[in-house]
Amino acid sequence: MSLFASVFPILCWLAYNLLVPLIELRRPSLSVIMSMQRRRWVANATRRETPMDAILSGNLMQSVSFLASTSVLLVLAIFAAFGQVPALMESLGTLGLGAGHAAVDLQIHLLVLLTIFVASFFAFTLSLRQFNHFCIMVGAIDHAMATSEAEIDAIASLNSLAAKNFNSGIRAYYFAVPAVAWFASDLLSIAITVVTLGFIVHREFFSSAHRVAASVAVIASRRERERQAG
């Protein structure tokens, strides 16, 4: 049970990443809807010569950079905890936590936490690199001539790919919460994992943000058809 509770957050994280693309075939997620807005962003950026697009891109990169740095600190903290397992078990015992866990259980769980935060670090750094490429491609747009639809699609796809990796890193943080709850109870960790999974699914498919973003996408699509018809 202890081992299952340790790896259960990672299993749910992997299952989410595998199953959500299948669900998106029937119902678009918030990420899919926002990808449509990212394409609108790029299309509008090709028609204006202002620093606004650079400012927006910079804000995105600052958020990703901050979370990547945080992941590094958490990885270092977990490495430090490996050398203090007896002291950690004693500290947990004084709080009434981890009563049924042996030292090997604690070491395995620290490996699970290390896996989660290392994965988040790679996701954030990859996202940061892709946002950097996106900035370069937006800066390379020639406003003296019309940008082709294929070029707009390519630049928007790179932005969406960077956002996908950023969301993957964020989900790693979400599933780290039930992993931390493991120190209190195996069953509590499993329960919080299920709640976290439900929260993420609700946010992506049934939240108020999803409804608002979908309505904006519909309005924008209708306006684009009217403009083309006119």
- For 19-36, write each residue's pLDDT tens digit: 888 888 888 888 888 888
pLDDT at position 97 over 70: no
Q: What is the pLDDT, as a whole number, of residue 173? A: 93
Q: What pTM did the predictor assign? A: 0.86
How far is residue 177's CA from residue 196's CA, in Å, rounded to a whole number? 8
| Mean pLDDT of all residues in 154-177 | 92
CB 5 within 8 A of CB 186: yes
- For 189-225, write each residue's pLDDT tens digit: 899 999 999 999 998 898 888 888 888 877 777 777 7
Q: Establish how many alpha carbons lie within 13 A of residue 140's alpha carbon, considering only the half-sphere containing its beta carbon.
A: 9
- For 122-143, write each residue's pLDDT tens digit: 999 999 999 999 988 888 888 8
Helices 2-23/149-181 angle, 10° precision:
160
H/E stretch holding 36 reads helix 30-45
